[in-house]
Structure 1
Amino acid sequence: MIDDLRRLNHRPPTQILDFGDALRILAGRPKDEGGEKLWNVWPVLKRQFANKTDADLFERLALSREIRPDLGELTRLLEAAGEALADVWRGLESRLRQKGEYDRLTTVEWPLQSAFAYRQFLGVRVDASIAEALLEQISAEKYAAYRRVAEHLNRNPTGLNYWNVQQYLSDTDVAYLMDLDPGGQLQSAFEMAALASPFAEAFVSMMKAGRDGSIVRRALGGTNRLFPIFHVLGTISGRILVSDPYLQQLRRAYRGLITGEPHHRLIYLDYAQFEPGVLAGLSGDPGLIRAYNEGDLYSALAELLFDNAAQRPVAKRVFLAFSYGMTPDRIATMLAGDAPPGERTTYAAKITGFFEAFPELASFRARQNDALIADGYVASLFGNRRLRTNGGGPLSLKEQRWALNQPVQSTASLIFKEALNGIIAEFGVEPVVLPVHDAVLLQFPDDGDFERRAQCASEIMVERFTHRIPGVNAKIKAGNFTD
C-alpha cells in the first residue's frame, strides 16, 4: 500500500489500523510454531462477506490479481468490504480486551506503525556515490571468507546459511553446535565460538559480508533513497524489524551509506546494556541492579574472562546466553575451542562465579517457568503474550529459554517503542530515520538547537525506561552512527 501511495505521490494516512497486527498479537506464536497462518487476515475477513463470490473477487482485486470492474461494481464491493471489516473489528476488539492486549496494540503498536508508514513512504536517504567503493570492500571480505569456509568444509559453501549449515559441521571444529536450534540461536553461538574457532570465524565473516553486500547493492544505480519495509511487530517479542533491505543489520563499517537530509545532522541514541537493565529490574536482584547502575556489566565480564575489555561484544553474548539458559560448560566449550580441557574448566568457573553474585536471576527464571506451566503464557509488563503450544507437562528446553526471554525482550521492545512514540510526540515523525535493535538513528536540523533536541530525545528514552523499570538507571549512549 505504501509503495502504491508513493507512486501516486499521496502521503499515507496518519492513522493506520492493521488488523494483521491484531491477529498477530492475539496469536502469541512465532512463525516456526504456526503463527504465520494465524496472522493472515484474508480468511478472517472473507468469512464476514455475505457471499463467497464477493469475498473471493475482493481479495483478487486487493491483491491486483483481477482487472478493476466498473465504478458501480467497485463501489458495491467496497461497501461490502467495509461492512465485513467492521464485523471483523468488533470481534477482534472483544478478543483483544479479553486477553489484555487492546491497550498495547492501540496505544503503542498502531501509533508507531503509522509513523513508520510515513518513513517508509519518505524512504531512507543514502549516499549512492559511495556504494560502489563499499561494495568492493565487502566483496573482498566475502571472497576471502568464502575460500576459508570452502577449505574447512571441502565443498562449495554457496547457499549455506545458519538454517542449513549444521549438516556439515561434523568434520569442523564446531561439531558441538550440531544440536542447537537453527537460525538465531545458532548464529549467536557461532559468534561466540568465532573467538577460538577458525571455521566459525570464517563462516560468520562470510554471512555478514553477504548480508552487507545485498544491502549496499540496493543503493547502486544513482538513486539517493532506499524504501525499506518497517515491521513494528517484527518478532514474537515485539522487536521492530526492517526488511527489503535489512538496514538494521548493516555493520558499522558500512553505515556511512546512510545520510541525513540536506542541512540536517544524524545522531545515534542507544540504550546501553538494555537487556541486562531490564533483567535486573524484572528479577529484582539487588546485586545486579547495583552492578548495572554503577558500571558496565559486559566490560566487567570481558575483563574477567579475557583480561581485555575490548572483547566486550563476546562478553555480551556470553551474558545473554547464560541469562537465557545456556550452561557455563556449554559456553566455555565455545570460548575455548580446541584449547586444553583446563581452559574450558577455567572459563566455566569464571562464568559461574560471575553470576553467583546475582542469585535472584535463578529465582526469576524459576518463577517464569512456573508461570508458563500454570498460565500457559508469559508476557511483558504490558501485554504481548507468548502462548505455550505444546500442551501441559514439563517444559522443553526451548520453552525454558523463552519463558525468560519473552518477558525480558518484550518488555525491552515495549520501552523502546514507548520512547519512540515519545520522541515522535515531541518532534514529529520526520526526525526518526531508523530503529536499530535497542537504538534509534535520528536527524535534526544542523543548527544551534541541535544539541538541545538530541538531549531532549535522550531524556525521553531515559524517562520511558524509568517508568517501566524504576530503580534501574537507564544509560543512553549518544554518538555517530558509524562509531
Structure 2
Amino acid sequence: MVPDPVGSGGRLCALAEDGASAGQVTAVDDLAAEVARLEAAQAPRWVWAATDEVYPWLLDRGAVRPARCHDVKLVESLLLGQEGRHRRPRSLGAAWARLHGLPEPEDAPEPGADDQPVLFAADRRHLPQDLDPLAALVEVHAAQQRRISGGEHPDRTRLLCAAESAGALAAVEMGRDGLPWSADAHDALLTGLLGPRPAGGVRPTLLSELAGRIQEALGRPVNPDSPAQMLPAFARVGVHLTSTRSHELRDVDHPAAALLLRYKELSRIHAAHGWAWRESWVRDGRFRPEYVVGGVVSGRWATRGGGALQIPRLLRSAVVADPGHRLIVADAGQLEPRVLAAMSGDKGLAAAAADGDLYAALARNAFAGDRPRAKIALLAAMYGQTSGEAGQLLAVMRRRFPDALALVEAAARTGEAGGIVRSRLGRTSPAPSADRFLDETADPGDGASPDRRAARSWGRFTRNFVIQASASDWALAMLASLRRRLTAIGPEPRLVFFQHDEVIVHAPAALAPAVEAAVTAAGDEARRLVFGAAPVPFPLETHAVRCYADAK
C-alpha cells in the first residue's frame, strides 16, 4: 500500500506468500474506504513503508483499525541487526539502495515533538525520482521475506517481525486514544506538592522555600540547580561529594542533603510533569504521547518527549477513568527473572518461578528464607554484579542454579570477546564500541587495562541483553495478542498505555471482567509463542480501578 501524498487516494497491490506481486496495481480515490472493505472481507496483512507515517494518515481519513501489518522500516532494522549491520540506515530508500548496490542514504533523525513530519518520507525519501514508490516497496518487502526464510530460525524471526509491526499499530492507536488525564486532579496534586502555579517562569513557592532552606543550611547563597555551586558549598561544610546525584546525597548526614534531595524530586516533577508539560501533552482530557517502537536496542519503547514511560507514582492520581469506565491495569511481575528461567531451562529456577513469588521461593530453596538476599543474588546474576555481598551470593546461585548462570555467563563471555548475542526471537545486540561502553565507574587501580575494562563492561551489557530483549519479545507478543482479543470484545476497550512490563486498558466497567480475562489469555499465549513448552508461568496481575494510583 502506498497512499498519495495529496488527497485521499492511493494504490494497492496484492502480494504472494513470498512477497512477489500477485496482481495488478489498483488505484483508488478513497484509500481508507478500500482498506475498510478489504479488512472486512479478507483481513490481510498490510505492507507499507512505515506505520508511524502511513497509519495516522489512514486514521485521519476514517479508516478502520487493521488487524495486521508488515512495517518495512521496523523489519529492516531487525534484519540488519541479525546480519550484524545495526548502524546502517533502515528507511525504504536505504533498503532499496542496498539491493541495487548503490550508496545508502542516511535516515533522517526521528522528528521531535515540535517538528513537522515530512509526509510519507519513509515511502519516498532518497528514492530515484523516476522510481515508483510502490514498486520499490514490493521489491524491498520481497527481499525481506527471502532474508527471513534464509535465516537461522525463520519461524522465530517471522514472529518477531509480526509482533514488532503489531506494536507499531498499537503505538499509533494509543497516541490517538490517549490515557485519561484529569486536569483538576493534576492541579490539586501539583498545588499540594509545589504550591500555586507561578507566573513568569519563576520557581513555585515550595521550591523557592526549599532553595532558601538549603542556603541557610550551607551558610551561603547557592543555586540548588547548579552542581558547580553545590559541590564547593558542601565541601566548605566538610561534605565532599563527586556529584549531586541522589544516590550520593542519601548517604550524607547533613541537613542540606535531605533538603536538596526533596528539592530535586519536586523540581523533576515540575519540569517533567508540571503545568507546562500538561499544556504540551494533554488535550481533550487525554495524555497523548508519541511512542517510538523499538526505540531502545533491547526492543523496549521510547517516546518523543512527554515522559509516557515514566509517570511518577506521585502523579498517578491524575490518571482517572471516564465516568462508567475502569482502567484495567496489568503488570507482569518479576518478568526478567522468569525470562531467565524459561530461556535457560534451569529446573530449580523454573520451580521457583512456578511458586508464585519467585524471590520468596528462591529464598526458601537457597538462602535460608532471606528474600532480600535472594533478590540481590538473582539481580547480581542478571546484571553481572561481583563486588561485596553480591559476589558471595553469586557463588551460591552458580552452585544451585547452574543452567541459569551458564546462560548469562556465556552471553557475557560472548560480549567480552566482541561478539553479539540474541534474544529468544532473534533480536540482536549491536557490535561493541569501547568508547561508548567503557565502564567509567570501574576502579582504574584494579590492574585492568582500559580495553579490558571496556570488554568487561560490554560483557555485562550482553549478559543482561539476552534477558531484557527476550522480555521485550514476550511483551510485544502479549501486546499483539491483547490487541486482537480486545478487538474481538468490541470497539469500547482501548489500549491506552504500555511499557515493558505493564499495560492499561480503558473500558466500560461492565466489560472489565472480559478485559481481565483477555489480559490473562494474552500473557499465556505470548508465553507459548515465545518460550514454547517451558514450564514457567508469566502471570499478569490485573486491577480494575477508577484511578491509576489505586492499582499499586
Is the shorter-chain TM-score for this pair beyond 0.5, marking a shared fold? Answer: yes
Query: Aligned-pair distance for 1:268?
Result: 0.9
* Partner residue, 1:73: none
* Partner residue, 1:259: 320
* Partner residue, 1:120: 175
Question: Is 1:451 aligned with 2:513?
Answer: yes
Amino acid at match of 2:168: Q
Q: How many percent of aligned residue pairs carry the same amino acid?
A: 19
Q: 1:49–1:80: 8 Å Cα contact kept in structure 2?
A: no
Q: 2:416–2:455: 8 Å Cα contact kept in structure 1?
A: no
Q: 2:300–2:472: 8 Å Cα contact kept in structure 1?
A: yes
* Aligned match for 1:436, one of 491, 499, 506: 499
SS at match of 1:403: helix
* Aligned match for 2:482, one of 420, 423, 426: 423
CA distance in 2, matches of 1:11, 1:166: 57
CA distance in 2, matches of 1:132, 1:22: 42
Q: 1:325–1:401: 8 Å Cα contact kept in structure 2?
A: yes
CA shift in 2, pair 1:210/1:458, >3 Å: farther
Q: 2:231–2:241: 8 Å Cα contact kept in structure 1?
A: no
Query: Aligned-pair distance for 1:11?
Result: 4.8
CA distance in 1, matches of 2:147, 2:259: 48
CA distance in 2, matches of 1:301, 1:144: 47
Q: How does 1:57-206 map to 2 (within 5 A)?
A: 80-99=132-151, 100=154, 102-139=157-194, 156=223, 158=225, 175=242, 196=251
- Greater relative CO (CA pairs within 8 A, separation 6+): 1
Query: Aligned-pair distance for 1:423?
Result: 1.2
Partner deviation per Cα, 1:87-112 (whole Å, 9 max, x = no partner):
44444444444455751453211122
Query: Aligned-pair distance for 1:86?
Result: 3.7
* Aligned match for 1:384, one of 417, 427, 434: 427
CA distance in 2, matches of 1:451, 1:41: 42
CA distance in 2, matches of 1:425, 1:414: 17
Q: 1:418–1:464: 8 Å Cα contact kept in structure 2?
A: yes
CA shift in 2, pair 1:209/1:22, >3 Å: farther
Tell me the number of residue pairs that the alignment of Structure 1 and Structure 2 aligns: 428
Q: How does 1:22-421 map to 2 (within 5 A)?
A: 22-28=75-81, 38-39=88-89, 41=91, 44=94, 47=97, 80-99=132-151, 100=154, 102-139=157-194, 156=223, 158=225, 175=242, 196=251, 209-213=266-270, 214-217=272-275, 218-220=277-279, 223-298=284-359, 319-329=378-388, 349=392, 357-372=400-415, 376-389=419-432, 396-421=455-480
Bigger shift: residues 370-379 or 426-435: 370-379
Question: Is 1:473 aligned with 2:526?
Answer: no
CA distance in 2, matches of 1:253, 1:308: 30
SS at match of 1:472: coil
SS at match of 1:382: coil
SS at match of 2:354: helix
CA shift in 2, pair 1:102/1:365, >3 Å: closer
CA shift in 2, pair 1:348/1:139, >3 Å: farther
SS at match of 1:266: strand
CA shift in 2, pair 1:8/1:291, >3 Å: closer
Q: 2:329–2:502: 8 Å Cα contact kept in structure 1?
A: yes
Bigger shift: residues 224-233 or 85-94: 85-94
* Partner residue, 1:70: none
SS at match of 1:478: strand
Q: 2:378–2:397: 8 Å Cα contact kept in structure 1?
A: no
Query: Aligned-pair distance for 1:266?
Result: 0.6
CA distance in 1, matches of 2:323, 2:480: 25
RMSD: 5.1
Partner deviation per Cα, 1:5-45 (whole Å, 9 max, x = no partner):
4995645863554433233323439xxx995x634527616
Partner deviation per Cα, 1:108-139 (whole Å, 9 max, x = no partner):
11122112212222222211122222223454
Query: Aligned-pair distance for 1:407?
Result: 1.4
SS at match of 1:238: coil
Query: Aligned-pair distance for 1:279?
Result: 1.2
* Partner residue, 2:72: 19
CA shift in 2, pair 1:78/1:450, >3 Å: farther
CA distance in 1, matches of 2:212, 2:349: 44
Query: Aligned-pair distance for 1:439?
Result: 1.1
Q: 2:332–2:539: 8 Å Cα contact kept in structure 1?
A: yes
Q: 1:45–1:84: 8 Å Cα contact kept in structure 2?
A: no
Query: Aligned-pair distance for 1:422?
Result: 1.2
Query: Aligned-pair distance for 1:154?
Result: 9.5
CA distance in 1, matches of 2:213, 2:309: 27
Q: 1:328–1:351: 8 Å Cα contact kept in structure 2?
A: no
Query: Aligned-pair distance for 1:241?
Result: 2.8
Q: TM-score, normalised by structure 1?
A: 0.69
CA distance in 1, matches of 2:347, 2:249: 33
Q: 1:239–1:437: 8 Å Cα contact kept in structure 2?
A: yes
* Partner residue, 1:182: none
Gaps of 5+ in 2: 1-52, 110-114, 120-127, 196-205, 435-450
Q: 1:11–1:121: 8 Å Cα contact kept in structure 2?
A: no
Q: Of Structure 1 and Structure 2, which has the larger fraction of its residues in helix?
A: 1
Q: 1:12–1:118: 8 Å Cα contact kept in structure 2?
A: no
SS at match of 1:247: coil
CA distance in 1, matches of 2:190, 2:528: 42
Query: Aligned-pair distance for 1:195?
Result: 6.2
Query: Aligned-pair distance for 1:84?
Result: 3.6
Partner deviation per Cα, 1:207-250 (whole Å, 9 max, x = no partner):
65455432343324874122211222121111133443112211
Partner deviation per Cα, 1:141-167 (whole Å, 9 max, x = no partner):
866887899889996453779xxx999
Bigger shift: residues 458-467 or 397-406: 458-467
CA distance in 1, matches of 2:432, 2:288: 36
Larger Rg: 2
